[in-house]
A = this chain, B = another copy of it.
Amino acid sequence: MLKGIDPRLNADMLHALRSMGHGDMLIVADANFPAESLARQTVLGRLLRMENLTAPEAVEAILSVMPLDTYVEDFAGRMEVIGAPEELPTVQQEVQATIDAAEGQRRPMIGIERFAFYELTKKAFAVVLTSEGRGYGDFMLRKGVILADG
């Protein structure tokens, strides 16, 4: 346990989040996502885990330390429901609310089609597997910057 750091962020998560730079993507995966196989193709090359947490819980913990990219529209994304790309299931509404809270403003995630999401995952810094059991509980978060004064 550490002062001022969400205890849901384990040692491997802190290492990965601190290692990421501007524009690097983190994929937050639900329990059905092909996480292990796709994680092997990421920069980190191995799967991270945040066990016994829903996707919104994991995203909340991650965003307590990770800034989102301010400069691009695809600062965050969600896997689109097949046949209903505009629909946001409850799990996605919850993650959107968490993002809005972290950003201090309404800032909608982009939708990403399922197979495009898999391709994007291969370009990510890392994949973190949650215990989210609801469908379409898969998200991309792109790291932003924290700048020194001056």
Contacts and interface: CB of A to CB of B under 8 A. Distances in A.
Contact of A67 (B3, B14, B19): B3
Copies of this protein, total: 2
A82 interface: no
Contacts of A15: 11-12, 14-15
A4 B4 contact: yes
A65 interface: yes
A19 B7 CA distance: 11
Contact of A65 (B5, B10, B19): B5
Interface in A1-35: 1-5, 7, 9-12, 14-19
A11 to B, nearest CB: 4
